[in-house]
Amino acid sequence: MTEVPSVAHGDGIRPLAAGDDVISRYSRWVRETPDAVAVEDGEHRFTYREIDGIADAVAERLRDRVTSGDIVAVCLDRSAALVAIAVALARLGAVYLPLGPAPGEDRLAGLLTDVRIRAVIGAPDTLPGSGSALGLPVPAVGANAVPHVLAELVPPNPGAASAPPGTLYAVLTSGSTGKPKAVAVGAASLANLVRWYHDLSDLGPGDRMALIMAAPFDPHLGDLWGGLAYGATLAVAPDSARYSTDALVDWFRTARVDVSVLATPMAEPLLGRAWPGGLRLRDLLIGGDRLRTWPGPDVTTRVHNVYGPAEATINVTSALLGEADRTSPPIGGPIPGVTLCVVDEDDRIVPRGTAGELLIGGVCLALGYVDEEMTARRFVQAPEGSGLERVYRTGDKVRMGDDGLLDFLGRLDDQVKISGVRIEPAEVEAALERHPEVRRAVVAVRRSRDGATGLVAFVEPAPGSAPDPDGLLQGTRSAVPAQAVPQEVHLVERFPLNENGKVDRAALLASVPSPGAERAEELRGETEELLAALWRDVLGTADVHARSNLYALGGNSMHAVALAGAIKRTFELELSMKSVMELRVLRDMAAAIDAERVALAASEVSRTATVTDW
């Protein structure tokens, strides 16, 4: 019997024609349906005419200061302001680089050193302060809006790298060196992606597309331009909908969302419960992590499991999920404009059914990194028999079935060596998930102070179950090598997520005691005493001290939402849920509250820039 090679081509490849780019498609709706709602943020609505007027005003303010090919870092969250600025930068031919509302001072400084950024846009306290600033006339209303938005023109570092010609947007992705990599994507690649969104869901005028993915995470660009390019309304989700399943369901109902993209850890709790009634949700796209949960028979929404790295423009595969017909949901086959091939260690295409590294090619490919040397390492000559010239090496281990669908098996670089044996955490996770009382498992690598390496497992129980951690450990002993048996198993109510919607393994490890952990310390001062009382009330525990860790006491993202609200009522100041989740330790949280109180009491330092109020 002839072996079939692990190569699959997406059907319906259509070259980008004049007027197919996202800004041209968006401009069509400005002309044809100017009074249709383009952005809805709670009670605030902005028509296509209004968004376009704001974008024109921003572009005019930046004109002659920001030109075609210039990289502009945008430090804002999902909002009408973010949408208008994205449109303005596309009009100018500038490169949109989303960093989110809190990029971090050190991270931004490092980025300015490595990447030739012309301007940074954001709230005054997020800007680097090294150049001149001007106010931008954007809305200051909405869940994530800031009172004033400035554009700071920064002096370029002569040694910094520029974006490749033709870049529409750039997005940061994590790097193995610990430094983020800036991926540059062109207009044709994004146009191909949003056209597929439209074909998949029939997204168009009158529909409502969720703008829910975190701004630094590239799927938000698919949401933003997927809606605007086809005349739909972008519905801005409140933060609570990103961290609470109940809040998400309520928002889906009230916002009357038709199409949404969700990160896998956000979607799995939704799929794991009785499907809620009263939803308009027509299509739900899930991606960003390995999906373990199949939709139940009561699910009335079309559920698509999607996959794609930033280097291949957000999504390259899709699987419409029905009844479970294999161990875990596949990540699917190629979308139009995409070719997939699976290769061995010598870059030879393997037969279907054989595991290997996934390579991606086609119109979906990014232009490269904002670093020519790194581009040359990861965007390489295609293997013989692929029908391609250039491919991206994903580093992902997959297997292509006889049906052409891919199963995701883990990361090749996730392997860790323990006592001389190479271990794949994904294999240990799969062993734990075979237990009927386990909904999902995450295995993290913990390194002790003396350099020893071990695995720690975190398990989310199946509904109504309370598995015994010792029993789970015992069960893995017959399924994996002795070196791969976790040192500990901890039960969690929900997995903490990072800003990109992926499981935060560092937060999980921080939530459990480690060798040499500090002993309990007494509370000091009024702030720590008041905060400890809030912790006891929200977490339902009396065992709270100055060094208590929110996650170690069983806290999760929903507790963080409640705690942020309690802090606002008690101290009359805002400490974001993200800050609550990142600070974790009671004493650190109290110090942040005290610092915020001092800042509020101090007089605001006037800036030299003129700020235009909306």
* Averaged pLDDT, 97-102: 92
Residue among 241, 107, 247, 233 nearest 179 (CA): 107
> What's the rounded Cα separation, in Å, for the pair 597 and 166?
46
* Whole-number pLDDT of residue 612: 43
If one compares 581 and 326, the residue with the highest pLDDT of the two is 326
Q: Which helix (H) or strand (E) holds 16?
A: none
* Averaged pLDDT, 274-280: 95
* Whole-number pLDDT of residue 603: 60
> What's the rounded Cα separation, in Å, for the pair 486 and 396?
23
Q: Which helix (H) or strand (E) holds 75?
A: strand 71-75
pLDDT tens string 224-276: 999 999 999 999 999 889 888 999 999 999 999 999 999 888 898 899 889 99
- The amino acid that residue 253 corresponds to is R
* Whole-number pLDDT of residue 517: 55
Sheet of 283-287, strands arranged across: 44-47, 37-41, 233-236, 208-211, 259-263, 283-287, 302-307, 317-320, 333-334
Which 8-state DSSP code applies to residue 323? S
Residue 521 has pLDDT above 90, yes or no: no
* Averaged pLDDT, 311-326: 93
Distances, alpha carbon 334 to alpha carbons 208, 362, 393, in Å: 26, 10, 16
pLDDT tens string 220-237: 999 999 999 999 999 999
pLDDT tens string 197-226: 999 999 999 999 999 998 988 999 999 999
Q: Which helix (H) or strand (E) holds 443?
A: strand 438-447
* Whole-number pLDDT of residue 68: 96
Q: In whole angstroms, what separates CA 561 from the centre of its chain?
A: 19
Q: How do strand 95-98 and strand 71-75 relate by DSSP bridges?
A: parallel
Residue 468 has pLDDT above 80, yes or no: yes
Residue 520 has pLDDT above 50, yes or no: yes
Residue among 550, 568, 537, 539 nearest 496 (CA): 550
Residue 436 CB neighbours (<10 A): 8
Contact 590, 524 (CB under 8 A): no
Residue 177 has pLDDT above 50, yes or no: no
Angle between helices 22-32 and 187-201 (to 10 degrees): 60
Quickly state the pLDDT bin for 606 (edges 50, 70, 90).
very low
Residue 419 has pLDDT above 60, yes or no: no
Contact 184, 174 (CB under 8 A): no
* Whole-number pLDDT of residue 314: 95
* Whole-number pLDDT of residue 350: 97
* Whole-number pLDDT of residue 607: 45
- The amino acid that residue 601 corresponds to is A
Quickly state the pLDDT bin for 609 (edges 50, 70, 90).
very low
**Number of helices (H) and strands (E), helices first, in the chain?**
17, 28
pLDDT tens string 386-413: 889 999 999 999 999 999 999 998 888 7
> What's the rounded Cα separation, in Å, for the pair 546 and 528?
7
pTM exceeds 0.95: no
Report residue 80 as tokens.
């009408």
pLDDT tens string 28-56: 999 999 999 999 999 999 999 999 999 99
Quickly state the pLDDT bin for 59 (edges 50, 70, 90).
very high
Could you give the residue ranges of the DSSP H alpha helices within 63-186?
Answer: 80-92, 105-114
Contact 311, 183 (CB under 8 A): yes
pLDDT tens string 570-590: 998 988 776 786 677 899 999
Sorted by where each starts, the structural domains of the chain and their CATH numbers stand as 42-162 (3.40.50), 415-510 (3.30.300.30), 525-601 (1.10.1200.10)
pLDDT tens string 503-519: 888 899 988 876 435 56
Report residue 525 as tokens.
């001062």
In sign, the C-alpha dihedral spanning 91, 97, 103, 109 is negative
Residue 161 CB neighbours (<10 A): 18
Report residue 144 as tokens.
């994530």
Contact 20, 195 (CB under 8 A): yes
Residue 417 has pLDDT above 90, yes or no: no
* Averaged pLDDT, 308-322: 96
If one compares 451 and 468, the residue with the highest pLDDT of the two is 468
Residue 500 CB neighbours (<10 A): 21
> What's the rounded Cα separation, in Å, for the pair 8 and 364?
14
Average pLDDT, the chain: 89
> What's the rounded Cα separation, in Å, for the pair 506 and 247?
25
- The amino acid that residue 591 corresponds to is A
